Amino acid sequence: MNLKLALRNVFRNRRRTLFSLLVIGVGVTLLSFVLGFVAEALRSTERSLALELGALQVGDARVLEGRASGLEALISPSDLDKVVGLVRTVEGSRISPQLNFAGLIGNEKGSTLLLARGVVPEDCMADYVCMLVAGRPLAEREAREVVLGERLAGKLNLRPGDTVNVAAGTVNGTLNASTVTVVGTLRLSNAQLEERFALVPLGFAQRLVRTTGVERVLIWIEDLAEAPQVRTQLEQRLKDAGLSFSVRTWQDLSPFFESIGTFWRAFSGLTSLAIFVLVFFSVLEVLTISFLERTREVATVRALGVPWSRVFGNFVLEGMAVGFLGGLAGVMGGIFLGLVFNALGLTFVPPGGTMPQPIRVAVGLQTLVVPFLLALLATAASSVYPGWKNARLNVAEALRAV
Amino acid sequence: MNGQGFCYARGDPVLQAQKVSKIYALGKEKVKALDEVDFLSTQGDFVVINGPSGSGKTTLLNLLALIDRPSQGEVLFEGKPTSKLSERDLAFLRRQRIGLVFQTFNLIPVLTAAENVEYPLLLLNLSRQEREQRVRSLLEEVGLDGLGRRRPDELSGGQRQRVAIARALVTQPRVVLADEPTANLDSTTGKQIMGLLQNLNGEHCVTFVVVTHDPAVPPYAQRVLDIRDGKIQGERYVADRPA
């Protein structure tokens, strides 16, 4: 009966109720859109970081923390075999050792700084294929090949098939140089990095810097969220095997992601707060009028012996019924808006970026539940003051006044 | 007393007021609405408190209904003082032992007639079946058989007051207090309503206390108290009540 009474009271003044539902519905729709956008932005950043960094990396702690260059603390071939053996016990993992080095790249037309990454083509090249804009991926581990960042290739006026000289410091502190063939160009999301970036086969990188070791081992796993658990497992296994290497997750290696996450969370929080305040005050006004119009009824039911707490509970229930219906409408609006927006296929080039990125919004429970609950909470909160005030009225005075 | 055919034994004291006064503050001025009024009704009484507007009759009714507290004096319910009872205890007594009928019917407009009658039962922990049986039986008794699904705005004034009477009786109270129950009705309907109250009083031995300024009402009572300027001026018994 209480719910029936609450629902009937909700629709007592249809125009007023429609206004409340509209405010709540629009608020929930907008909030679910914003949360969906933020969720998708974070997910997309996560994906691109995981592609770049792997879910986890194994290497010397000083190197992983940026306190030493890769060439100062390498993983020896025998240790690498042990590390690879241990990592392979992690279900669904893919691994790729890397050796990064800095140097110079140039030809007779000019030279420039180079940040090169030695990779095992068959381990990880598939991840770079989608970034290729010309030529082909690296093919052989030992080949003298290079895939250049598109801007770097442009700067040196290089195309697939051209040759170029690469020079780098060796582990002994001397200089070494070699001529390589450009087999492809790729586009990175970071324009600044693309001006200096190149991929070379790991074997070539090792010959150039005169080592047989690697700097770090990148590990990809199916579910990024499991990275911290895998890290703990691997650390224990490395310790048990007498290896002093460290394991870092992609989040440890990209502290800026935490800043981005904090920014987006603050943005979502402020938007949620704004929507809460909007719904709270709009519904507060409507409910105050609606409740005060029922002074006679309240006085009557109180006179009949209904405790004030029950009357108050009924008012809050009524507020929540408005919130529930408005929230439901907003959730449907959010789903519709999200699907329409995604269907438009909009893109944008982020600041410092090179490639148009799709702008999408996530549509799902995680972006709909919070706005819905927020609407419920805001309307329940809106009903507290007018409900309490009305339920606590002086019965005799209220009966006399009507 | 059991089910809908309940009837209380007559004679026990139900409501008593001992030298009750009620003083209202109107700005800096104090107005004495009731001045040391004594009142006693026993089980099965049909008492009318008769007086003009402003005489203090509704104030007295509110005190007897335990809706308001006296400034001085004591109201006793079933022989027990009520001045020290909490609001919660007073609300408990009202919903368990007291029925109220208002001048303007005061039905809940969004509920049907049957739901309005059922409403006070929701706090009594009765089964749904028991509630429905009581509602059906009372609607039939007040002459509204078949109109239970109508909302108040689909009923005439007389029908609304019958719903209000059914609502007052549905908890099987010891006493029903009615404030000007005929004031918003035409004279014919008013007579019908008073006749109904008289019958219900006879059948269930529920005490009825009716305040009114309608001269057509006192003849239905067993006892009439005249109130003027916050004081009981006189008391008389009615010899020839309408059949």
Query: Tell me, what's the ipTM?
Result: 0.89
- Give the nearest partner residue to B94 out of A304, A308, A402, using CB atoms: A304
A396/chain B closest Cα distance in angstroms: 6
Shared domain check, A206 and A140: yes
Shared domain check, A151 and A78: yes
In a domain, A177, yes or no: yes
State whether B98 and A305 contact (CB < 8 Å). yes
Shared domain check, A323 and A203: no
Confidence of residue A72 (pLDDT cuts 50, 70, 90): confident
Domain B44-51+86-237: CATH class, spelled out: alpha beta
Q: Token pair for residue A366?
A: 């995680």
Q: Token pair for residue A246?
A: 């460290």
State whether B91 and A8 contact (CB < 8 Å). no
In a domain, A234, yes or no: no
Shared domain check, A215 and A75: yes
Q: Residue A82: phi, psi to the nearest 5?
A: -65, -45
> pLDDT tens digit string along B218-236?
999 999 999 999 999 999 8
> pLDDT tens digit string along B142-164?
888 889 999 999 999 999 999 99
> pLDDT tens digit string along B111-140?
999 999 999 998 888 999 999 999 999 999
- For residue A4, the chain B residue with the least C-alpha distance is B111
State whether B119 and A395 contact (CB < 8 Å). no
In a domain, A346, yes or no: yes
> pLDDT tens digit string along A33-70?
999 999 988 888 887 777 778 889 999 988 888 887 76
Shared domain check, A208 and A112: yes
State whether B115 and A305 contact (CB < 8 Å). no
pLDDT for A371: 94
Cβ pairs bridging A and B (under 8 Å): 63
Shared domain check, A270 and A152: no
Reference A145, options A122, A131, A163, A126; nearest CA is: A163
The number of folded domains in chain A is 2
In a domain, A240, yes or no: no
Contacts of residue A396 in chain B, CB cutoff 8 Å?
Answer: 62, 67-68
**Domain span holding position A133:** 56-220
pLDDT for A209: 92
- Give the nearest partner residue to A296 out of B88, B106, B123, using CB atoms: B106
pLDDT for A316: 93
Q: Residue A187: phi, psi to the nearest 5?
A: -115, 130
A16 Cβ contact partners less than 8 Å away, ≥ 6 residues apart: A286, A289, A290
Rounded to the nearest integer, the mean pLDDT of chain A is 88
State whether B92 and A305 contact (CB < 8 Å). yes
pLDDT for B2: 41
> pLDDT tens digit string along B29-65?
889 999 999 999 998 899 999 999 889 999 999 999 9
Shared domain check, A92 and A23: no
In degrees to the nearest 10, what's the CA dihedral of A239, A245, A251, A255? 130
Rounded to the nearest integer, the mean pLDDT of chain B is 90
pLDDT for A357: 77
pLDDT for A127: 65
Shared domain check, A317 and A275: yes
DSSP state, residue B203: H
In a domain, A230, yes or no: no
Shared domain check, A287 and A215: no
Q: Which residue has the tokens 């005489």?
A: B55
In a domain, A25, yes or no: yes
Shared domain check, A328 and A278: yes
Domain boundary among A194, A220, A246: A220
B67/chain A closest Cα distance in angstroms: 6
Shared domain check, A283 and A165: no
Shared domain check, A293 and A315: yes
Contacts of residue B174 in chain A, CB cutoff 8 Å?
Answer: none
Query: With 50 as the cut, is the pLDDT of residue B3 above it?
Result: no
